[in-house]
DNA sequence: GAGCACTGC
């Protein structure tokens, strides 16, 4: 009950600030009598003090104290629904000069300690059910239901800890919405969908998979009884392909919409459309404060409703001038916190594995230099490519008298939470992947984070108690939000999905943030070349088959094309291995020589084994070893990635069956396998130049074999097909395999002409074309026979 | 002689 009372206090503060917004009688506003009767005596007193201070400040406009700032902050958060203007940031302090925290204990921390008192004798389910009324959202139940009844689309700003994800579907079910259809709630991540569903099943008191269930890739935990269904956003998108009007649903909740994943962005437009033809369908878009207004505008000025959350205060400190060497600043800050601050773990956000390893070694050295004075620190690195057993260390509590320092990538921003973190060090950078449609190249760039990310990172320190966040930058220099994925991704797959849904004009599709036009154009061109679309841009039979496979269109074309070469069994293995996000080869810093040797074993025996065939061999060897984890360790293979490959392969196998492609195997005919690869990847061809580099056959550009390829440093093959291009220090082809140029004509006669693969051309003409088409003439000083594509216009 | 941030179907 205590928290409900606390909540009254916050609510009253919020009303007070609202009066300021509306220019109402602020001074005349009193703590509501109704609350008073509920036993909020203490809260009333505190409210009066807070109000007095607030009014005084309004009159004088003087600088505020931290306590006031915190209250302001709380109240400010509540203002979003009135379209908060830019208000001066008052929380940030200066440099690393700390005031002590006496008198800055957030009210909810006292409440927290007594939260479950007296509940120990009850069952987990009973406890779960009782806990419901302690959630901040509880006080809004009726108002919320009324709004949902009256508005077809509602944008909900539910802050962290408000309980919206677990409660809203239950309220809707209790209000009878499930009589008309299911309640679907999407999440951007699999783990979230699973854990939230399990939590709700417990609260409702049913078995998971019965009335409450979840649906994620590789795992459908629902039944005919299921009325509350949690799922990943990509899963709902797949369902839309089968059920375009979402007839079996009465409510769709898009949770964490502010994350703007590729799938949510497409879902927005699709559900908006469905809502027009289905007036009975209710849409709830749940977002963070920053983007709420934008969502509301997109959904034709939908109502915004705010549900305050419950969080601990986080004190934020920042540096006025960013240091050039921020890794050194990180180390100094860790040491400073360790020596001057109270017990509590430190979380550091870094951009990648390399930075993490550097900081780890340097920090260890620094601690050695400092000698034995002070307590010990335990360094825990965490990033997604770190093998699972090593990741586990992060979740173990630090032994008594020591402090844990977690060095993490962005993985700790949303994907996983680490308990016990009290301090966050945020240098303000992350790696962002962006795709250049002109060159067809991906690049991973270190970029400043957005304000939204900064807030999220800071919040990681206030999960279990008040926290502190040390920002090595000035928040004012940041952009408000990150560029949505749809504006920096390869859209081939998106466009194919839209076409399959019958959307003809992708240029005028109702994107919330439209992707660049040439990105759409490139996607259309590629799909046409692959035969997935016809001349007028309509989806073909081949395209329909390709959509079935949840992989990139070039991969799905490769799978569909494998039928002809009688090697579908090998091809789905290769496709699965290529679809695994992370590299399957593990290369720890101190054992690189061994790791490289183990990897090269997969290229032995036969000549011209490319990276694709090597991946096939890795998978088959693993299978022969009965999918052994032990084997993975010996061969420096990531067993996590292998298991994922197996899941994907199983799924592809099922789909192959579904579209009626026979499962055929031709393990010894490497040429057949290579031809099948080319059936999907023919646009990715490259030819050797004299200096050892390669040149793309279409869209001339110099590219290189990736250093992690088995072909790197080997005697070069004249013609290659590659899986993808990445821009790091150079333009690299990742995963390459040798091929024969005549296959290009054989497999893609509509794309390649004989002159594309000939290399006997008059030298003069050749040179003229080259000089006209590239500004970097010096790189091919001596290359005179290399092929330049004259088919396409050269770039200006 | 250099590198794989993070998700999802």
**A354-387 pLDDT tens trace:** 899 899 999 988 888 887 666 788 999 999 888 8
| Closest nucleotide relative to residue A582's CA, C1' based | B4
pLDDT at A622 over 80: yes
Q: What is the mean pLDDT of residues A568-592?
A: 88
Closest nt by CA–C1' to A414: B6
Amino acid A342 CA to nucleotide B4 C1' distance, rounded Å = 37
pLDDT of residue A648: 94
Res A76: pLDDT: 41
* CA pair distance A194, A222, nearest whole angstrom: 11
Return d(Cα A303, Cα A290) in angstroms, integer. 15
Confidence of residue A114 (pLDDT cuts 50, 70, 90): very low
Q: Which residues contact residue A187 at a Cβ distance below 8 angstroms, ignoring those fewer than 6 apart? A: A165, A193, A196, A230, A231, A232, A233, A255, A256
Nearest protein residue, CA measured to C1' of B2 = A707
CA of A341 to C1' of B5 (A): 30
Instruction: Give me the residues paired with residue A761 across strands.
Output: none
How remote is the C-alpha of A475 from its chain's centroid?
22
Each residue of A258-269: pLDDT tens digit? 999 999 999 999
> Which residue's CA lies closest to nucleotide B5 at its C1' atom?
A431
Check whether A46 has a pLDDT greater than 90. no
What pLDDT does residue A94 have?
24
A405 has which bridge partners? Answer: A346, A379
Please state the rounded mean pLDDT for residues A26-35: 71
Least confident of A75-84, A447-456, A517-526: A75-84
Percent of chain A with pLDDT over 90: 49
pTM for the full model? Answer: 0.78
Q: Which nucleotide is nearest to A552 (CA to C1')?
A: B9
Q: Specify the nucleotide whose C1' lies closest to residue A263 (CA).
A: B8
Residue nearest to nucleotide B7 (CA to C1'): A189
- Per-residue confidence (pLDDT) for residue A416, from 0 to 100: 84
**Burial class for A729, CB neighbours closer than 10 Å (0-12, 13-18, 19+):** exposed
Rounded distance between C-alpha atoms, residue A471 and residue A469, angstroms: 6
Report the distance separating Cα A236 and Cα A497, nearest Å.
13
Written as six digits, the tokens of A424 are 């966050």
Residue A122 has pLDDT above 50, yes or no: no
What own/partner pairs with CB < 8 Å and gap ≥ 24 does A371-374 have? A374/A338, A374/A339
Do A248 and A232 form a contact (C-beta atoms < 8 A)? Answer: no
In chain A, what is the greatest distance between 2 CA atoms, to the nearest angstrom?
96
Question: Which of the four pLDDT bands, split at 50, 70 and 90, describes residue A177?
Answer: very high
Highest mean pLDDT (candidates A6-10, A701-705, A756-760)? A701-705
Residues A157-167 have a mean pLDDT of: 85
Distance A713 CA to B1 C1' (A): 9
- The DSSP 8-state label assigned to residue A549 in this structure reads S
- 3-class secondary structure, A215: strand
What does the domain layout of chain A look like in residue ranges? 128-307, 314-486, 490-548, 551-677, 681-756
Chain B bases under 7 Å from protein CB? 1-9
* CA A703 to C1' B2, whole Å: 14
Give the closest nucleotide to A442 (alpha carbon vs C1'): B4
**Structure letter (DSSP) for residue A732:** E
The yes-or-no answer to whether A128-307 and A314-486 have a common fold is yes
Q: What is the mean pLDDT of residues A118-146?
A: 68
Are A330 and A406 within 8 A, CB to CB?
A: no
Q: In Å, what is the CA distance from A447 to each residue of A320, A382, A473, A548, A746?
A: 19, 20, 13, 35, 44
For the CA of A261 and the C1' of B8, the distance in angstroms is: 8
A230 close to A254: Cβ distance less than 8 angstroms:
no
Å: A315 CA to B4 C1': 34
Q: A9-31: b or e for each residue (b if 16 or more CB lie within 10 Å)? A: bbbbbbebbbebeeeeebeebeb
Torsion of CA A202, A206, A210, A214, to 10 degrees: -10
Q: Which residue has the higher pLDDT, A25 or A67?
A: A25
In A497-649, DSSP assigns E strands to none
CATH no. of A314-486: 3.40.50.300
Question: How are the residues of chain A apportioned to helix, strand and coil, as percentages rounded to the nearest 5?
Answer: 45, 15, 40
> What is the average pLDDT across A159-170?
87
Q: How far is the CA of A353 from the C1' of B5 (A)?
A: 9
Query: Among the listed ranges A2-11, A225-234, A361-370, which one has the minimum average pLDDT value?
Result: A2-11
CA distances to A8, A15, A55, A63, A604 from A20, in Å: 19, 9, 10, 18, 75
Taking the C1' atom of every nucleotide in all shown strands and the CA of A219, the nearest one is B9
pLDDT digits (tens, 9 = 90+) for A486-511: 999 999 999 999 999 999 999 999 99
Q: Flag whether pLDDT at A777 surpasses 70.
A: no
Residue A686 pairs in a beta bridge with A696, A720
pLDDT at A625 over 50: yes
Judged by C1' against the alpha carbon of A549, the nearest nucleotide is B9
Q: How far is the CA of A385 from the C1' of B5 (A)?
A: 10
A126 pLDDT higher than 70: no
Residue A65 confidence (pLDDT) above 80: no
Nucleotide nearest A383 (Cα, C1'): B5
Average pLDDT over residues A673-695: 92
Contact A299, A267 (CB under 8 A): no
The dihedral built from the CA positions of residue A69, A71, A77 and A79, taken in this order, carries a sign that is: negative
- Considering the domain delimited by A128-307, tell me its CATH architecture: 3-Layer(aba) Sandwich (3.40)
Span CA (A511) to C1' (B5), Å: 25
- The one-character DSSP state at A539 is B
| Spacing of A596 CA from B9 C1' in Å | 32
As a whole number of angstroms, the distance between CA A97 and CA A526 comes to 57
Q: Which residue is nearest to nucleotide B1 (CA to C1')?
A: A707
Which residues have CB under 8 Å from A331's CB, separation 6+? A359, A362, A363, A366
CA–CA separation, A658 vs A655, rounded Å?
5
| A292 within 8 A of A80, measured Cβ to Cβ | yes
């Amino acid at each position: 009950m205590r928290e409900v009372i606390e909540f009254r206090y916050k609510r009253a503060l919020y009303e007070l600030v609202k009066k300021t917004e509306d220019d109402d009688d602020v001074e005349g506003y009193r703590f509501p009598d109704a609350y008073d009767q509920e036993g909020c005596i203490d809260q009333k007193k505190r409210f009066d003090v807070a109000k007095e201070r607030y009014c005084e400040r309004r009159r004088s406009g003087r600088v505020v104290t931290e306590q006031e700032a915190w209250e302001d902050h709380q109240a400010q958060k509540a203002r979003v629904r009135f379209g908060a203007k830019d208000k001066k940031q008052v929380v940030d302090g200066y440099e690393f000069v700390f005031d002590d925290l006496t008198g800055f204990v957030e009210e909810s921390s006292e409440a927290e300690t007594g939260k479950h008192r007296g509940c120990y004798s009850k069952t987990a389910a009973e406890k779960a059910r009782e806990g419901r009324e302690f959630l901040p959202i509880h006080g809004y139940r009726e108002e919320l239901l009324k709004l949902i009844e009256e508005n077809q689309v509602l944008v909900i700003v539910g802050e962290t800890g408000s309980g919206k994800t677990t409660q809203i579907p239950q309220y809707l079910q209790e209000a009878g919405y499930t009589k008309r259809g299911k309640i679907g709630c999407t999440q951007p991540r699999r783990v979230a969908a699973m854990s939230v569903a399990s939590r709700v099943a417990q609260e409702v008191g049913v078995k998971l998979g019965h009335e409450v269930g979840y649906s994620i890739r590789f795992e459908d935990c629902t039944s005919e009884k299921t009325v509350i269904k949690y799922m990943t956003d990509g899963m709902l998108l797949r369902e839309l392909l089968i059920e375009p009007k979402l007839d079996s649903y009465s409510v769709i909740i898009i949770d964490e919409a502010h994350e703007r994943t590729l799938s949510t962005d497409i879902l927005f437009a699709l559900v908006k459309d469905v809502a027009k033809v289905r007036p009975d369908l209710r849409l709830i878009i749940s977002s963070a404060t920053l983007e709420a207004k934008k969502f509301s505008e997109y959904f034709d000025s939908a109502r915004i409703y705010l549900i305050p959350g419950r969080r601990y205060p986080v004190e934020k400190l920042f540096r006025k001038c960013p240091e050039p060497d921020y890794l050194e600043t990180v180390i100094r800050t860790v040491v400073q916190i360790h020596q001057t601050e109270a017990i509590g773990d430190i979380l550091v956000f870094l951009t990648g594995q390399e930075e993490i390893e550097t900081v780890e070694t340097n920090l260890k050295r620094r601690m050695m230099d400092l000698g034995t004075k002070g307590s010990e620190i335990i360094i825990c690195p965490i990033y997604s490519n770190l093998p699972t057993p090593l990741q586990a260390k992060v979740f173990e509590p630090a032994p008594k008298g020591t402090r844990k320092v977690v060095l993490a990538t962005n993985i700790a921003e949303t994907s996983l939470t680490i308990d016990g973190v009290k301090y966050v060090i945020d240098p303000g950078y992350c790696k962002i992947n962006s795709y250049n449609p002109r060159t067809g190249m991906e690049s991973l760039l270190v970029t400043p984070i957005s304000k939204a990310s900064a807030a999220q990172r800071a919040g990681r320190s206030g999960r279990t108690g008040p926290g502190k966040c040390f920002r090595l930058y000035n928040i004012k220099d940041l952009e408000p939000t990150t560029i949505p994925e749809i504006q920096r991704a390869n859209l081939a797959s998106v466009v194919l999905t839209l076409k399959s849904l019958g959307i003809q004009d992708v240029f005028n599709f109702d994107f919330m943030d439209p992707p660049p036009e040439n990105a759409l154009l490139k996607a259309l061109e590629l799909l046409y070349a692959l035969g997935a679309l016809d001349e007028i841009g309509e989806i073909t039979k081949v395209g329909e088959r390709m959509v079935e496979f949840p992989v990139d269109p070039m991969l799905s074309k490769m799978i569909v094309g494998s039928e002809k070469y009688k090697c579908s069994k090998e091809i789905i293995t290769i496709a699965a291995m290529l679809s695994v996000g992370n590299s399957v080869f593990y290369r720890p810093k101190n054992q690189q020589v061994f790791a490289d040797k183990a990897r090269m074993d997969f290229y032995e025996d036969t000549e011209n084994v490319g990276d694709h065939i090597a991946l096939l061999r890795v998978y088959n060897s693993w299978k022969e070893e009965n999918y052994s984890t032990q084997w993975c360790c010996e061969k420096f293979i990531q067993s996590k990635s292998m298991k994922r490959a197996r899941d994907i392969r199983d799924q592809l196998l099922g789909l192959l069956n579904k579209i009626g492609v026979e499962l055929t195997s031709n393990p010894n005919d490497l040429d057949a396998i290579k031809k099948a690869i080319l059936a999907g990847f023919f646009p990715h061809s490259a030819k050797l130049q004299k200096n050892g580099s390669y040149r793309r056959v279409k869209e001339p550009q110099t590219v290189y074999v990736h250093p992690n390829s088995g072909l790197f440093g080997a005697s070069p093959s004249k013609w290659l097909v590659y899986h993808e291009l990445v821009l790091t220090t150079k333009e690299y082809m990742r995963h390459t395999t040798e091929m024969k140029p005549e296959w290009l004509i054989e497999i893609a006669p509509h794309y390649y002409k004989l002159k594309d693969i000939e290399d006997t051309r008059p030298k003069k003409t050749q040179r003229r074309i080259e000089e006209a088409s590239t500004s970097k003439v010096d790189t091919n000083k001596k290359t005179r026979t290399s092929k330049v594509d004259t088919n396409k216009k050269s770039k200006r």
